[in-house]
Homo-oligomer: A and B are copies of this chain.
Amino acid sequence: MKHDMATYELFFGSLSNPNRLQIIILLRAGPKNVNEICLALGFEQTMVSHNLKRLEKCGMVMVEVQGKFRFYTLNMKTITPLMELIDAHMSMYCSHVVHPDGKMCH
Question: Which residues does A use to contact B, with CB under 8 Å?
Answer: 1-13, 15-18, 21-22, 25, 28, 57-59, 75, 77-78, 81-83, 85-87, 89-94, 97-98, 102-104
Contacts and interface: CB of A to CB of B under 8 A. Distances in A.
Chain A at the B interface: SS class:
helix
A22 B7 CA distance: 13
A57 B10 contact: no
A97 B6 CA distance: 10
B4 A9 contact: no
Contacts of A25: 1, 5
B6 A102 contact: yes
Given A6-B103, A17-B9, A1 B83 contact: yes
